[in-house]
Structure 1
Amino acid sequence: MELDQIIDNIYPLTTKSKDLIKASIIEVKFSKGHILFKANKIEKSIYFIKKGIARAYAYSDDNQITFWFGKEGDPIVSMQSYVNNQKGYEDVELLEDCELYELKMEQLQKLFLEDIHIANWGRKFAELEIIKSEKRLISLQFENATQRYLALLNNYPSLLQRVQLSHIASYLGITQISLSRIRANVK
Structure 2
Amino acid sequence: MTAQEYEQFLFPNLTFCIFAENGSCYMDIHEIINKIYPIPETSMDKLTKHLSKVTYPKGHHILEAGKTETNIFFIEKGIVRAYIPVDGKEVTFWIGKEGSAIVSLKSYVDNQQGYESMELMEESELYLLKRKDLQELFKEDIHIANWGRKFAESEFMQTEERLISLLFTNASERYMKLIQNNPELLQRMPLECLASYLGITPVSLSRIRAKLKRML
Task: Point out the more displaced range, 108-117 or 91-100.
Answer: 108-117
Q: How does 1:24-173 map to 2 (within 5 A)?
A: 24-173=50-199
Give 1:46 shift: 0.7
Does residue 31 of structure 2 align to residue 5 of structure 1?
yes
Give 1:79 shift: 1.3
Amino acid at match of 1:37: L
Larger radius of gyration: 2
Partner of residue 21, structure 1: 47
Structure 1 residue matching 2:148: 3-state secondary structure: helix
Q: Aligned equivalents of 1:25 and 1:53: distance in 2?
A: 19
Give 1:82 shift: 2.2
After the TM superposition, which parts of structure 1 deviate over 6 Å for at least 4 consecutive aligned residues? none
Structure 2 alignment gaps of length 5 or more:
1-26
Q: Aligned equivalents of 2:153 and 2:138: distance in 1?
A: 15
Structure 1 alignment gaps of length 5 or more:
none
Q: Aligned equivalents of 1:65 and 1:161: distance in 2?
A: 20
Q: Aligned equivalents of 2:37 and 2:113: distance in 1?
A: 27
Amino acid at match of 1:110: E
Q: Aligned equivalents of 2:118 and 2:43: distance in 1?
A: 29
**Identity over aligned residues, as a percent?**
56
Aligned residues: 187
**RMSD between aligned residues:** 0.9
